[in-house]
Amino acid sequence: MMTGHPLALFCVTVVIAVSSSGLVNGQQKDEYHIDVLVYVDFAFYDNWLKETNMSDSPQAQNATKEYIAYLFQGVNRRYRTITNLPFNISVHVSQVEIARTPQEANWTESVKNDTGSSRPQVNATAVLENLKQFVTDNYSTLPPFDHLMLFTRYDLVGNSAAEGKFTTGLAYVGTMCKNSSVSIIEDDGGAVNEATAAHELAHSLGANHDGNGNDCNASDLFAMTDLGANPKVNENGAHKKLNLWTFSNCSSQYFNDTVQKLKTEGLEKKCLLTKLKQEGVPPVPDNLPSPPDQQCRHIYNDSSYFCRMPYAPPNSSLDDLCLKMACYNPYLAGETCTLQTADAGTCCGQGKWCQQGRCVENQLNSKCSNINDSCPFGDQPTNIKLYGTNDSKPCDELESSHCYEKKLRAKCCEHCEKYRTNDVDCEYGDINAKCQVTPCGNATYAEGCCGTCKAYQPGKCKDITVSFSINYVNKSTSKTDVLTGSCSTLVVERRMLCYKNSFSEPCCQSCEEARTNDSRCLFGDRVLGCSEEGCAQDPSLTHDCCQTCRTTTTSTPIPTTATTTYTTTMTATTTTPTKTTTTTVPTTTTIKTTPREAMTSKPTSTITSARELTTTPTTPTTPTSTPTTTTTTTTTTPTTTTTTTTISTKARTTPTPVRDLCIPLLGVQTCGCAALTTNLALLLTAMALIVAITM
């Protein structure tokens, strides 16, 4: 066992222990412990701080140590798979220290080649020699260890262009328990780090690459393959990737030869048979491993994320996640996702997690028990490109119609789940965007706007039981007119209310019965006070007075002036539970013309509101009385809500229509304008129904 003293660095000691469990020829197996002292340079620590949004602090240092402890749990599991030796090997961390400044990480900083990229390069051979010299110079002051391992975030390169592209680690061979028992690891993410650390440690235990001076084959992809920690394979060889978590028979033989040599040299008892006490190494927390999104960011950079589309049900599943975790690669063109290996313990289904490349049942604890297989990791944490456009939005800003597009639904599964209904023909509500109620008489339109138009499908809806009390107050006369009634009564009195979604939806049955066959004038005139004379004088009235203006005369009305204030008080009593949907009034309506999974919406009709203008009274008047409020309450169930709304109108010219939106009258900037506001919110049980209507 080598001794020494830690410097002001991030240093982790890992112990590889040989277990006494098991029998060989009827005798108990020896247990060997390999203590690994791990140094983490400043580049690694600085990147960790950025990933976790932490500043240099004891908490950040502890979190870094937790990650290292988690990493070496995986290294240990790989060595515990060896069963064909007369001894067992285990690996653990004995100490961790952090290089918190560049000056404390001279092994890498002194040979750093800043290429202008996000990851400067360092020559792997030069760093390894620096590390070996560091051990030699500080041997007497370093803490005890069997192997010293350095992690760096810098890009390791070899002595040639061919070597440089693929170097992820480097170690001396057969030097365990000696001054040259050192290695370096390039930080490329959890699963790759784990595999590379186990690989370089095996070199120190005497193992060569499979196929290099031995009968094993690198293409079998055991831990000592020289094809890398995440080799590319075709479908026929995909099953071989599971070998990455185990060692070949050739590696086992190398380990045995090294241990026998250490025994001959008298180093076995001083090194492998002694298990060091861990110093300052925290236990692995429950929040490790990180979710796939963070794992992908660790592998690439902050712009990376877990690609959800390859795992979207019903045609895909999470079973392949452990070996094929798709990460967005920001260094490639387009939205390209590359396959990585998920960290050990990553959830891969409800009650299932990744162990040694396999998705298996978690029988140890409750982790992953709350995973939703259809949306295991929530929404993609980036803006989503909308189908058929150049626009993009975050998931929480998308409309229900977007959820019919399969790729978008996979990326925004959590958001789309909020829109899901029990209607298989209208699974996520409106299929088209910007739906409104009035064109729902058209069957094609109703299909594309199935959510909005559901209330207008004959036989599929009934009125809720609502009682309205509406008071009209004239300031000049102080006269109050009261209109009270249910849906059916109010539709008879004021059929134009059905043009308002907030009224037509709860009163859908009465509005359906009042519907005409004229798609441009479904419920007759849209305002009160329409006259043939007004239609003749002002062609723009043909929309609001669509029924009256079908036939017009040329008579000219005589204008008069009055000032009216409407105070509207409504008492609504609900006895039938009804779900309320609020629909934004669109300017363009689209029709579903393609399958739900690949829709291209196109405008087919426009519902245009009358122009809002500033009212210019012909004769100024002054109100002579204060608006009054009358409340009438009808109680039929325990849930009753009363709301009073007062709207004052300026002077208007009669006999022009009283309308909810102003339009020019008689060719001048004077208009009849009394705001018609309908705001009916239907809520179940404890929530109240509030209706505000002004005529």
Q: Say how many C-beta atoms besides its own lie within 10 A of residue 7's C-beta.
A: 16
The predicted pLDDT at position 163 comes to 54
Angle at which helix 292-299 crosses helix 190-204, to 10 degrees, equals 60
Work out the average pLDDT over 297-322.
88
* Whole-number Å distance between alpha carbons of 340 and 346: 13
- In the chain, what are the domains? 10-208 (3.40.390.10), 292-417 (3.40.1620.60)
* Whole-number Å distance between alpha carbons of 5 and 333: 48
Confidence label for 189 from pLDDT (cuts 50, 70 and 90): confident
| Range from 204-213, 304-313, 393-402 that averages highest in pLDDT | 204-213
Work out the average pLDDT over 322-336.
91
Q: Say how many C-beta atoms besides its own lie within 10 A of residue 299's C-beta.
A: 22
| 184 contacts 147 by C-beta, under 8 angstroms | no
Alpha helices in 110-248 (DSSP H): 124-137, 161-166, 190-204
129 in catalytic set: no
Alpha helices in 278-388 (DSSP H): 292-299
Does residue 15 have a pLDDT over 80?
no
Work out the average pLDDT over 611-619.
32
* Whole-number Å distance between alpha carbons of 45 and 39: 11
Amino acid at 200: E
Query: Which two structure tokens, joined as six digits, stand for 145?
Result: 């260890």
CA atoms within 13 A on the CB side of 36: 32
Span 277-298, pLDDT tens digits: 888 899 988 888 999 999 999 9
Lowest mean pLDDT among 3-17, 309-323, 501-515, 664-678: 664-678
Span 549-607, pLDDT tens digits: 886 543 434 333 333 333 333 334 333 333 333 333 333 333 333 333 333 333 333 32
* Whole-number Å distance between alpha carbons of 294 and 408: 21
Answer left, alpha or beta for residue 470, where phi above 0 means left and psi between -120 and 50 means alpha: beta
Work out the average pLDDT over 382-407.
88
| 648 contacts 621 by C-beta, under 8 angstroms | no
Higher pLDDT, 471 or 154: 154
| 137 contacts 130 by C-beta, under 8 angstroms | no
Does residue 383 have a pLDDT over 50?
yes
Does residue 620 have a pLDDT over 90?
no
The predicted pLDDT at position 355 comes to 94
The predicted pLDDT at position 470 comes to 56
pTM for this entry: 0.63
Span 505-561, pLDDT tens digits: 677 778 878 888 887 888 898 887 788 888 888 888 888 889 998 865 434 343 333
The predicted pLDDT at position 280 comes to 87
Query: Which two structure tokens, joined as six digits, stand for 374?
Result: 């259809």
Given the DSSP bridges, would you call strands 121-123 and 112-113 parallel, antiparallel or unpaired?
Answer: antiparallel
Percentage of the chain lying above the pLDDT 70 cut: 68
Amino acid at 294: Q
Confidence label for 304 from pLDDT (cuts 50, 70 and 90): very high
Work out the average pLDDT over 322-341.
92
Q: Say how many C-beta atoms besides its own lie within 10 A of residue 444's C-beta.
A: 12
| Residue list, annotated binding site for Zn(2+) | 199, 203, 209
Higher pLDDT, 532 or 204: 204
Confidence label for 161 from pLDDT (cuts 50, 70 and 90): low
Instruction: List residues bridging with 237 in a β-sheet.
Output: none
Work out the average pLDDT over 384-394.
86
The predicted pLDDT at position 237 comes to 64
Q: How many residues does the chain have?
A: 695
CA of residue 658 relative to chain centroid, distance: 49
Q: Using the 8-state DSSP alphabet, how is residue 2 labeled?
A: B
Among residues 30, 38, 37, 142, the alpha carbon closest in space to that of 90 is found at 30
Active-site entry in 66, 200, 405, 505: 200
Radius of gyration of the chain (CA): 38
Q: Say how many C-beta atoms besides its own lie within 10 A of residue 593's C-beta.
A: 13
